[in-house]
């Protein structure tokens, strides 16, 4: 079974230690905020991917900007899952954990993030801390870990790092990378290259001390640890890109031919705009940071009106502020792509945590009838291609396309095949040919609702652009028939687009006892859980939806072939375990609501809002319990 240690061993070329061969391993690095555990995890994840392993990483981010030190809630870090087979999610319990202090470490233990009996490498400086309460807290945790049979190794990180830098707190992360390079038998030159890449351009004076710390960590592990692991490469032959979802979104914007991105900083979407601002000018693009979310959306719409579709990037609270302008994009039929990197809610909610709570808001959260297209990438690779697709749809159908990413995809790293750039991805040249005489700017086709888009500067193309009800000439008109026709034609565009969609694929048999339906970043965990239970003979399958509005034909027919259907989602739903909840008042998860209303099938749901990616093991346990 994937992840189980095999009894085979192989001697490392650089050491006399015997390396245990693994199909996969899960690593967590946790520290106080600002100590660089996230950087260490990202760097080592990149090295594993460049070494040929399949990788998925997840950032552990505290909710506060400057959380209190030595507290479970303030823990920052990274989880890395690496394997010799395609890795599609963050997995279950960590098997090797590195803690910069015992409080950050115990936060993960209390959340059941660690596999029982796993290896723990713990900074030992706290044992002799001058504050007796801190020393006692450390001693108490060490006793607990030993009593519960964890393989605990106390590591003098502070002492070792102080030999190379004045502030050891700023050097422990590279020391940890060095230890990991030794533990997993990686060539130190790979890490040296990553350090040079990270620091040489902006802070060249940091290259040498960080390499010294790296080498010190490697040597300490060589001399003091009695274990080593080997994860054979995945066997990928084609070139790969190692990126997180936000970087993939930014690259997708460049590849799509869009030239303007308007945004306002908001967690967890901001890094997409930051990365885009670094690379966009090189290809003639422009990132506009507006004074607020409303202004960002207005700027994008105005830019798009001038001829080329623009994009705005935000998160849930930002989308809430943009709702009137979203409706303007639909009403005025101006193409717009909106990327919503979802986070926990409601209100300010959980800014750094994952959730899929914005699906219903994306579809219905605008005034009046404002039909728009909503899609959701399921993988980091999807984050790249979904933007290209969204731009094409927005321009073809003259409408708003919302791309629902989330914090799991945004901060997770994964390797995927390097895209082979195609000219077909890019936006076409702005049409400046004369408008045919007698042509109206909203000359809606009676079947598809589509009409030719007039671009400013086209001879004969001047017309009134308005968010008020208007006729085919764009003139404000309040007659009852006028508004009815406009709403009808805008809705027909969704119907026309829906006819182009293919039914989703079924993972597993096409009929059985239970069908799991998912969307967005839950795909990998759902399919891994389904694969596990199918090995034991359970008749379970899954399907995953990319387009949530409109939905493809054939979904009802797929669901009707199963005895039970349920969604797995990271958003809120009521549980029948609560005394007051019954079939008359239960609130369902977002996708379950939509499927029940659309297809009149009794679709159940299983969801939570823990602020963490759903693990395959949790889904597996739920399936087994349901089919007892």
Instruction: Tell me the per-residue pLDDT of 292-330, one tens digit each, with 9 for 90 and over.
Output: 999 999 999 999 999 999 999 999 999 999 999 999 999
pLDDT score for 16: 67
b/e burial code for range 513-540 (CB count within 10 A of at least 16 → b): ebbbbbbbbbbbbbbbbbbbbbeeebbb
pLDDT score for 57: 96
pLDDT score for 202: 80
DSSP 560: T
Residue 88, token pair as written in the block: 């599609």
Superfamily of domain 241-421: Thiamin diphosphate (ThDP)-binding fold, Pyr/PP domains (3.40.50.970)
Domain at 5-230, CATH from 3.40.50.10860, 3.40.920.10, 3.40.50.150, 1.10.10.10: 3.40.920.10
pLDDT score for 75: 94
Provide the angle, in degrees to the nearest 10, between the axes of the packed helices 523-535 and 616-626. Answer: 50
Q: Does domain 506-626 have CATH number 3.40.50.920?
A: yes
pLDDT score for 63: 80
pLDDT score for 237: 81
Q: Is the CB of residue 245 less than 8 Å from the CB of residue 380? A: yes
Give the whole-angstrom CA distance, residue 278 versus residue 253: 13
3-state secondary structure (DSSP) of residue 297: helix
pLDDT single digits (tens) 123-161 = 999 999 999 999 999 999 999 999 999 999 999 999 999
Taking the model in full, what pTM does it have? 0.95
User: Which segments in the chain show pLDDT lower than 50?
Assistant: 1-13
Which whole-number Å values give the CA distances from 68 to 65, 74, 101, 422, 486, in the listed order? 10, 6, 13, 49, 55
Give the whole-angstrom CA distance, residue 260 versus residue 228: 49
Q: Is the CB of residue 548 less than 8 Å from the CB of residue 521? A: no
All CATH 3.40.50.920 domain ranges in the chain, comma separated: 506-626
All CATH 3.40.920.10 domain ranges in the chain, comma separated: 5-230
Q: How wide is the angle at C-alpha 157 spanned by C-alphas 151 and 161, nearest 5°?
A: 155
pLDDT score for 1: 35
């Amino acid at each position: 079974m994937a992840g189980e240690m095999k009894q085979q061993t192989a001697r490392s070329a650089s050491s006399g230690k015997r390396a245990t061969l693994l199909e996969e391993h899960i690593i967590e690095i946790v520290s106080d905020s600002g100590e660089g555990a996230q950087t260490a995890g990202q760097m080592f994840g990149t090295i594993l991917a460049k070494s040929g392993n399949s990788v998925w990483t997840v950032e552990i981010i505290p909710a506060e900007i400057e959380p209190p030190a030595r507290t479970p809630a303030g823990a920052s870090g990274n989880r890395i899952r690496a394997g010799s087979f395609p890795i599609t999610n963050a997995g279950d319990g960590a098997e090797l954990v590195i803690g910069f202090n015992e409080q950050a470490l115990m936060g993960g233990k209390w959340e059941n993030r660690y596999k029982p009996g796993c290896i723990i490498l713990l900074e030992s400086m706290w044992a002799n801390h001058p504050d007796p309460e801190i020393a006692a807290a450390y001693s108490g945790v060490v006793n607990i870990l030993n009593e519960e049979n964890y393989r605990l190794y106390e590591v003098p990180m502070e002492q070792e790092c102080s030999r190379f830098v004045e502030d050891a707190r700023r050097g422990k992360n590279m020391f940890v990378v060095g230890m990991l390079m030794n533990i997993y038998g990686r060539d130190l030159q790979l890490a040296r290259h990553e350090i040079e890449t990270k620091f040489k351009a902006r802070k060249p004076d940091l290259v040498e001390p960080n390499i010294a710390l790296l080498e010190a960590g490697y040597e300490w592990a060589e001399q003091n640890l009695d274990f080593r692991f080997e994860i054979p490469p995945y066997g990928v032959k084609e070139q790969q890109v190692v990126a997180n979802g936000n970087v993939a979104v930014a690259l997708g914007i460049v590849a799509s031919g869009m030239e303007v991105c308007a945004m306002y900083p908001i967690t967890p979407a901001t890094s997409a705009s930051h990365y885009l601002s670094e690379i966009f000018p090189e290809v003639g693009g422009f990132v506009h940071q507006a004074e607020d979310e409303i202004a960002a959306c207005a700027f994008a719409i105005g830019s798009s009106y001038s001829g080329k579709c623009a994009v705005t990037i935000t998160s849930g609270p930002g989308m809430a502020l943009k709702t009137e302008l979203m409706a303007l994009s639909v009403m005025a039929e101006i193409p717009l792509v909106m990327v919503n990197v979802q986070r926990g809610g409601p209100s300010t909610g959980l800014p750094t945590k994952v959730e899929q709570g914005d699906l219903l808001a994306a579809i219905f959260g605008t005034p009046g009838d404002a039909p728009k297209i909503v899609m959701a990438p399921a993988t980091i690779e999807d984050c790249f291609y979904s933007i290209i697709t969204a731009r094409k749809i927005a321009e073809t159908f003259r409408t708003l396309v919302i791309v629902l990413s989330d914090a799991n995809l945004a901060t997770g790293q994964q390797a995927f095949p390097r895209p082979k750039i195609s000219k077909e991805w890019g936006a076409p040249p702005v049409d400046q040919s004369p408008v045919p005489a007698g042509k109206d700017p909203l000359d809606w086709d009676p079947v598809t609702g589509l009409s030719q888009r007039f671009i400013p500067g086209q001879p004969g193309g001047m017309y009134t652009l308005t968010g008020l009800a208007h006729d085919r000439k764009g003139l404000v008109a309040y007659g009852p028939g006028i508004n009815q026709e406009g709403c009808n034609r805008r809705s027909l565009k969704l119907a026309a687009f829906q006819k182009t969609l293919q039914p989703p694929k079924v993972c597993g048999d096409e009929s059985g006892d239970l069908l799991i339906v998912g969307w967005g970043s839950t795909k990998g965990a759902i399919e891994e859980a389904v694969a596990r239970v199918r090995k034991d003979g359970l008749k379970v399958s899954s399907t995953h939806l990319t387009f949530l509005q409109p939905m493809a034909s054939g979904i009802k027919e797929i669901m009707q072939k199963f005895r039970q259907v349920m969604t797995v989602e990271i958003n809120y739903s009521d549980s029948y375990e609560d005394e007051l909840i019954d079939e008359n008042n239960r609130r369902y998860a977002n996708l379950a609501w939509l499927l029940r209303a659309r297809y009149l099938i009794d679709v159940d749901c299983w969801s939570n809002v823990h602020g963490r990616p759903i693990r395959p093991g949790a889904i597996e346990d739920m399936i087994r319990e349901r089919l007892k």
